[in-house]
């Protein structure tokens, strides 16, 4: 069984169970949409919660790396880095300033949401633009 055109082109068959599961989800989504049970506002709400969760996790990781010595390394090495030469010295200082601003905003915000694991979507997905620390 094939699920998408690119699978047929590459000749990569999918697991039959996964394909049936995907078709089932599509059928359920179609029924909700045609019966008026689908809410675009609700659909926009869930990705926002996932984005918030990823943002908090990434800022916590960024804080640990930046405060763990990377800030001092960056200050000493950003001006002499040879790659990405189009980044001016002012641009390089802005990068550090933006990181510090983000971390200061995180520190100044209220405490974490109590019981977030129960309150947020269980599977937040993967935020593709986030670096791994």
Q: What is the mean pLDDT of residues 123-127?
A: 61
Predicted confidence band of residue 2 (pLDDT cuts 50, 70, 90): very low
pTM of the model: 0.57
Note the pLDDT tens digit of each residue in 8-28: 555 556 678 888 888 898 888
Question: 19 lies in which domain range?
Answer: 1-38
| Pair (52, 79) in one structural domain | yes
Q: Using CA atoms, how far apart are residues 20 and 3, in angstroms rounded to an integer?
A: 9
Residue 9 lies inside a defined structural domain of this protein: yes
Residue 132 lies inside a defined structural domain of this protein: no
| Pair (51, 92) in one structural domain | yes
pLDDT for the residue 1:
45
Count of the separate structural domains present in the chain: 2
Q: Looking at 42-46, 76-80, 83-87, which range is the least confident one?
A: 42-46
| pLDDT over 90 (residue 63) | yes
Residue 133 lies inside a defined structural domain of this protein: no
Q: Using CA atoms, how far apart are residues 114 and 32, in angstroms rounded to an integer?
A: 32
| Pair (103, 60) in one structural domain | yes
Residue of 108 and 127 predicted with greater confidence = 108
Residue of 68 and 16 predicted with greater confidence = 68
Contact (CB, 8 A) for 102 and 26? no
| Residue 67 Rama label (left phi>0; alpha psi -120 to 50; beta) | alpha
| Pair (51, 14) in one structural domain | no
């Amino acid at each position: 069984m094939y699920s998408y055109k690119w699978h047929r082109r590459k000749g990569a068959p999918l697991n039959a169970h996964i394909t049936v599961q995907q078709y089932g989800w599509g059928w359920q989504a179609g029924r909700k949409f045609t019966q008026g049970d689908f809410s675009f506002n609700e659909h926009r709400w869930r990705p926002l919660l996932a984005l918030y969760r990823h943002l908090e996790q990434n800022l916590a990781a960024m804080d640990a790396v930046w405060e763990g010595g990377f800030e001092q390394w960056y200050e000493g090495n950003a001006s002499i880095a040879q790659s990405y030469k189009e980044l001016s010295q002012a641009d390089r200082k802005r990068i550090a300033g933006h990181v510090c601003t983000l971390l200061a905003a995180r520190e100044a915000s209220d405490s974490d949401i109590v019981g977030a694991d129960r309150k947020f979507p269980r599977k937040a997905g993967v935020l593709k633009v986030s670096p791994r620390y």
